[in-house]
Amino acid sequence: MLFIALFSWWYTAGWAQLGERALKRIAGVLDFFSVGMLLKSLFAPFRQISVGSVQGSLSVKLRAWGDKQISRAIGAMVRLAVILFGLIGVLIMCLVSVGLLVLWPLVPAMPFIVFFVVIGMQ
């Protein structure tokens, strides 16, 4: 009776729980890298100390505008790099999760598979 309950759980609720955990891990990677937030602020200035309007002559204003544009370009490059690493992490997590979901039904049969492979090698 215990084996029937185990197999019943393994191929129904256990498999579903594995899928739910896989989705949570993927969401965790997306949250860790903050991909959504980085996309929203892609062209925002990067760690700019002085934010706001600049008072002074035209050359001072042009220099401040140029500084902001350089800061935006640096911010976009850094954010794009982090987004790229995050998407690579999501891709790896998806591949691992699919692999686990595919191997999950085979795990109870592994002792028998290994036994027959060892017998066949002799």
Angle between helices 2-11 and 13-33 (to 10 degrees): 40
18: left (phi over 0), alpha (psi -120 to 50) or beta: alpha
- For residue 41, what is the DSSP state? T
Task: Look at the chain and report how many structural domains it folds into.
Answer: 1
Domain of 88, in residue numbers: 2-121
Give CA 54 to chain center in angstroms.
40
Helix H or strand E encompassing 75: helix 58-103
Q: Is the pLDDT of residue 46 over 80?
A: no
Question: pLDDT tens digits for 36-45?
Answer: 888 888 877 7
Mean per-residue pLDDT, 42-52: 70
Question: pLDDT tens digits for 86-107?
Answer: 999 999 999 999 999 999 999 9
- For residue 45, what is the DSSP state? -
Return d(Cα 28, Cα 24) in angstroms, integer. Answer: 6
